[in-house]
Amino acid sequence: MIQRIQSVYLALAAVGALISAFLFPMWTSEGFDYFASANTLLFSLVVAIAVFSFIAIFLFKNRAIQMKLCTVNMLLVIVSGAYIVYQYFNYEVESVIGIAPFFLLFPLVFNYLAKRSIKKDDDLIRSVDRIR
């Protein structure tokens, strides 16, 4: 399980999502930092990204579901990014974007890399099955 590179990619995606949720502010307005944990929808999206990444690690025997979870995760990252932009522009003009939204790029990139590696494994197994 852990010797497969997609497991490492999925773990890094989950860590990137959790870092963006808890450690760094999403945006700053009037001297107050807005974290993802302050907004329930954004927090649930980011935690769902981390949870789906961890679940996908342990579904190594079912590559089709693993690829679907990676796709769902990438869509969740895009939705959470769009929600961050929407929320950011609803605040005052003096708002400054934080560093946390940039940490959401890690789950996007690492889920793509994991999906690509899972596809390679799937293609390899299908080619071996054809030889039999």
Distances from the Cα of 46 to the Cα of 37, 38, 61, 117, 120, angstroms: 9, 12, 26, 23, 27
Q: What is the pLDDT of residues 71-104, one digit of tens each?
A: 999 999 999 989 888 877 776 667 777 777 888 8
Q: What is the pLDDT of residues 17-68, one digit of tens each?
A: 888 888 888 777 777 777 777 788 888 999 999 999 999 999 888 889 999 9
**Which helix (H) or strand (E) covers residue 114, if one does?**
helix 105-131
